[in-house]
Amino acid sequence: MLDYVQSRPRLLAFRPTALQTLLWLSLLQAARALFSALFGVVYDAVFAETLGTGFLLLVGGGLLLAFLIPLPGGRLGLRGAAVAAAIAMLARIPVSLDSPALRLWAGLLTVAAAFAALTVFLRRNARHTLDALILALLLDQLLRAAGTTWDLSLRPGWWPVQALLALGSLWLVWSLQRTPDSPGNSGLELAGGVALATLLFLQLNLLGLPNALARWSGSAYAWLAPTLLAVSLLGVWLGQALRPDRGHRVLLAALMIAGLGIGHLAPGVLSAAGLLLAALASLALLLMLPRPGGEHRTGTGLGLGNLVFLILSFGLAFAFTYPYTLPALRGSGIAWYLIAAALSGLAVFGEGVPAFRRSWRRWGPIGLAGVLLVGWLARPVAPSTQPAQAGTLRLATYNVHYGYDGPWHLSLARQADTLAAAGVDVVALQEVDTGRITSYSIDDALWLGRRLGMHVVYLPTIEHLTGIALLSRYPVVSAETTLLPSEEEQTGLIHARLQVRDEQVDVFATWLGLSQAERARQVTAALDWLAERSPRGAACFAGDLNSPPDSPTYQRLAEAGFSDPFRTLGLGDIATDPAIVPQDRIDYVWLRALTPVAAGVPESLASDHRPVWVAVQVK
């Protein structure tokens, strides 16, 4: 009986922590789905002009309401927070379904309700709520590693699990409503609320993503994924061990800024080390935010911080889409991260309260098991070298549209199935994201490479996280990349020398710009670079060239000694763009010193382009 009495307070203390952890995790996941849906909405409204201005304003208003709800939400009582928590957990269920409209509105509702509830919890006891946030961030890393950067809980098959979690959370909410509602005085200061939002921005867009750190530094995801989790755990320990005085908070903010700078400027392992240092400092600082605050300061601070979060998010998005929005933002990505880190330095103002001291004898083995699990999930997968057909090599190109189809369903799995059904051995990929929140923070190249059993060569062309890639079933003897002259959207060229049984084949992969003047400069530079590395012998030049068959770009490649296999085989010009009722042929696989035996354009709607494949004879 005594054991029961002693264990019951622990159980009661666990319930709000479990509920808040689920809320934070749902908020992080819904934010990814929401910004991915917004990417499609903005594109269709501004560029494709298929959505009206009125709809765009409606969505914008909903977005502001969802993120600014902490302003009035901080005045809710505990029972109001319980209702908001129940709404958030129920609204999170359809976020996993692959419907662009559903994930937009369900994402908005989940974010709004979660922020309303969490603002109350932060006001009552920020220490508990920030602990729950840390746990949610660690669980987020596990879920993304389990799907190799594609969060398992954001796949359509997850909704039954999410439904069970929602039902479990309703029990937690019910037990919470039985708790006496007394106003708290342990919330966040105004500066702490802003710092919290900016630290969330950094975690969601860079520091919590091992694939993003890997692409930034040119390092291997296989070791960065478990290392980031280990560093995150070290950051949690550091946040608990240090006194929350101003000097330590200044030090952590400075380390975060310095780490980002090193990550941007240094090469290789030094870059990875700098980014890991920034990740460690950010989590430690999360546990040392200034508190307590006044009864309503928490909501005001978090609301203002969320407004800053939105400004930073759209600024970063425009840095990726500068050619079509604000050209002055070209190359400004690092500036947005540094601004966020600097604003998180507002945590130096106000008084801190020591974090809970966890027993690392108890939690250390769990953390170690998590690191080992992530290491196993992130382990390299040996590519298969079995050809699609004996005596042939299938070369392909595919514009994967950041993992989406034309109507903005997340379709990476269908794209992989399309390539597998075509039996491709080598494929050039364009519009490849590797860690942007607007594409669920997935590494498209890594995910497709693992799914198809292929080696991956990736070239980041914009802000480290967007570019082109080359996947190969055959060993890559050597690989190198270069950027092409680009006044509009930056692009580049990949060269990989492949060992195809007894023969070596040079494969070049690219994406060319949208204007004729841009393409003229790029194809000239590409052919000069190509000639230096592969003056003769078997070669392939593949990609989305944004050029029809009667264009100067087409003529230049023909004059350079490449042949169009569709013309060679008498197949004519088969349109590839758009995927739905294609009108234009702009995607090509050009050949030199290779004999085509078949070619095709699969009738796939998995992207906004259709893929192109060509089978050639090999020894």
Residue-wise pLDDT tens digits, 181-194: 444 457 888 888 89
CATH number at residue 512: 3.60.10.10
pLDDT tens readout for residues 364-393: 888 899 999 999 999 988 776 665 566 789
* 109 belongs to a structural domain: yes
Which of 136, 37, 45, 120 lies closest to 82, judged by CA?
Answer: 120
Query: Which of 184, 207, 239 lies at the terminal end of a domain, its last residue?
Result: 184
Answer whether 513's CB lies under 8 Å from 569's CB. no
pLDDT score for 587: 98
What single-letter amino acid sits at 184? G
* Cα dihedral 321, 323, 325, 327 in deg (nearest 10): 110
Element (H, E) at 11: helix 2-42
* 378 belongs to a structural domain: no
Strand 587-592 and strand 392-399: the pairing is unpaired
Which SS3 state, helix, strand or coil, does residue 306 take? helix
pLDDT score for 389: 60
Q: Give the range of the structural domain holding residue 407, as residue numbers without chain letter.
A: 392-617
* 239 belongs to a structural domain: no
- Other CB atoms within a 10 A radius of the CB of residue 83 amount to 16
If one counts the domains in the chain, the total is 2
pLDDT score for 195: 93
pLDDT score for 546: 96
* 254 belongs to a structural domain: no
pLDDT score for 298: 85
Query: Which of 184, 207, 238 lies at the terminal end of a domain, its last residue?
Result: 184
Partners of 615 in beta bridges = 394, 598
Partners of 41 in beta bridges = none
* 432 belongs to a structural domain: yes
Residues of the chain with pLDDT under 50: 1-12, 181-184
Cα separation, 589 vs 544, in Å, equals: 9
Integer angstrom CA distances of residue 364 from 49, 243, 283: 53, 21, 17
Which of 37, 41, 57, 42 lies closest to 99, judged by CA?
Answer: 37
* Cα dihedral 251, 257, 261, 262 in deg (nearest 10): 40
With 0-12 CB in 10 A as exposed, 13-18 as middle and 19+ as buried, what is 178?
A: exposed
* 303 belongs to a structural domain: no
Task: Provide the terminal-to-terminal Cα distance of the chain, rounded to the nearest Å.
Answer: 79
* 412 belongs to a structural domain: yes
CA 140 to chain CA mean position, Å: 12
CB proximity list for 199: less than 8 A, separation 6 or greater: 282, 285, 286, 340, 344
Cα separation, 73 vs 84, in Å, equals: 10
Answer whether 492's CB lies under 8 Å from 461's CB. yes
Cα separation, 573 vs 21, in Å, equals: 55
Answer whether 186's CB lies under 8 Å from 297's CB. no
Residue 618's Cβ-side half-sphere holds a number of Cα atoms within 13 Å equal to: 26
Answer whether 51's CB lies under 8 Å from 38's CB. no
Give the position of tokens 């949690």: 236
Q: List the beta strands (DSSP E) in 473-571.
A: 476-484, 491-500, 503-511, 539-544
pLDDT score for 177: 61
What single-letter amino acid sits at 412? L
Bond preceding residue 387 cis, omega within 30 of 0:
no
Cα separation, 505 vs 513, in Å, equals: 26
pLDDT score for 215: 96
pTM of the model: 0.94
CATH number at residue 72: 1.20.1250
pLDDT score for 14: 64
* 578 belongs to a structural domain: yes
Give the position of tokens 């009495």: 5
Query: Which of 150, 184, 218 lies at the terminal end of a domain, its last residue?
Result: 184
